Structure 1
Amino acid sequence: MGNAVSPCCHPNSKSSVKLVFWEGTTMILNGKRVAGEIMFQYPDMMVCHANSFYIGHPIPALAIEDELSTGETYFVLPLDRFPQNVLSAASLSALGSSPKPAPINFGDCPFQYIKGTNGRVLIKVLPEFITRLISRGNDQGCTSPSNSFLCSTPELQKHYDQLVGSKVQVWSPKLETISE
């Protein structure tokens, strides 16, 4: 009688696993899966649980035999983007999938401060922020510094161009011939 959608057509998010790849592609997997299955399909990538990124702590890469929990989100990230094992602001900026690096727009606070079991404060990086970071290469507006929050006015853009300059233009000193 009306327009209705049968629930059998949509997979239940509690029985599926969401994978977010480095350049923003997402994939939904149904049923029980092991991290090794994804690692064998993508040998130069690692699988990380989305809610396990803490500044100053090791990158939360899963082992081959680790089972993916249903209803959870995982990031599939390139191994070469993490030269060090510890998550830092620099390694977060390296996650950007844009071919032209642009400053990170932190916007809403991308961090959550949590008290750990030992009483110390942990800085958790929110999964939404990492998702925006790894998929921003698909957004055309974020690849140029002139479109970012850094150069928000024409005057700032002019100063930026003067200071940073073009990568095409190569500097060389003006040398005068010495006559004797």
Structure 2
Amino acid sequence: MGNSLISPCFLPNSTKNSTTKLIFWGGATHLLSGRHLAAKLLSHFPNCSIFHADSFFIGHPIPTLSFSDELLLGETYFILPADLLPFNTLTANSLALLNGGKRWPPPPMAKFPFECVKGEDGRKAVKVVPEFIMEMITVDDRGGEVQVSEEICSTPELKRHYEQLVVGNRLSWSPKLETVSERKVNFVEGYCYSSQSKILKKLSDFSSI
């Protein structure tokens, strides 16, 4: 998408260029040393998809890593259940699905979750900052199914910031502030936050290969 930056709070300077940071749905994190292909990680987590932390843009497709893609040193990736984002294009609706039913207001690490950036083609795009995604996917230990019934811009400040970037810039696409109707979200079996110990065990096995 161009003009994407990894926030320095994601990786300390001492380790930024020698490790890859993995952030799993639920909050488990892991610093991976050395060079690895996505295929190796996906073989340990077959029901998941890998997303670069800077690949979330409102109104644009969310690219996932393919088996042949390499995990780049110094970069951050989100490992999410493959069925967590049912839409090809990132919308306020799909953003709301990431929070696993947590209630707002917006998390303190990313007071303003959106920023306006200019793509390689010179057109403006609205990026969702990685810190906000990280806070969204760090959920409470609820287990099983949770209810999602929150509006993505449920506070005046967040709604105003969204409208300034999305509506104010008059992008060619016209995203709406969508309300996610209350429904069940079925998490991938064995992957919900209650099984973080299993994730860490797999990561231990992964690192030893």
TM-score (norm 1): 0.65
Cα displacement (A) at 1:106: 6.2
Cα displacement (A) at 1:33: 0.7
1:111 equivalent to 2:108? Answer: no
Structure 1 unmatched ranges of 5 or more: 1-10, 152-180
* Partners of 2:70 and 2:22 in 1: CA distance: 13
Bigger radius of gyration among the two: 1
Secondary structure class of the residue paired with 2:41: helix
Identity percentage of aligned residues: 40
How many residues align? The count is: 131
Q: Which amino acid aligns with 2:29?
A: T
Cα displacement (A) at 1:12: 3.0
Q: Kindly tell me: are residues 138 and 129 of structure 1, through their superposed partners in 2, closer, same or farther at Cα, counting changes over 3 Å?
A: farther
The answer to whether the Cα contact below 8 Å between 1:93 and 1:104 also exists between their aligned partners in 2 is no
> Within 5 Å, which residues of 2 pair with 1:51-62?
51-62=54-65
* Partners of 2:105 and 2:42 in 1: CA distance: 28
Aligned residue in 2 for 1:173: none
Secondary structure class of the residue paired with 1:112: strand
**Partner residue of 2:85 out of 60, 68, 82:** 82
The answer to whether the Cα contact below 8 Å between 1:53 and 1:124 also exists between their aligned partners in 2 is yes
Aligned residue in 2 for 1:31: 34
Aligned residue in 1 for 2:23: 20
* Partners of 1:106 and 1:28 in 2: CA distance: 23
TM-score (norm 2): 0.57
* Partners of 2:44 and 2:25 in 1: CA distance: 14
* Partners of 1:14 and 1:32 in 2: CA distance: 11
* Partners of 1:75 and 1:63 in 2: CA distance: 14
* Partners of 2:40 and 2:78 in 1: CA distance: 14
The answer to whether the Cα contact below 8 Å between 1:35 and 1:63 also exists between their aligned partners in 2 is yes
Aligned residue in 1 for 2:51: 48
The answer to whether the Cα contact below 8 Å between 1:96 and 1:137 also exists between their aligned partners in 2 is no
Q: Runs of 4 or more off by more than 6 Å in structure 1?
A: none
* Partners of 2:25 and 2:57 in 1: CA distance: 18
- Bigger relative contact order (CA 8 A; separation at least 6): 2
Cα RMSD (Å): 2.5
The answer to whether the Cα contact below 8 Å between 2:107 and 2:135 also exists between their aligned partners in 1 is no
Structure 2 unmatched ranges of 5 or more: 1-13, 156-209
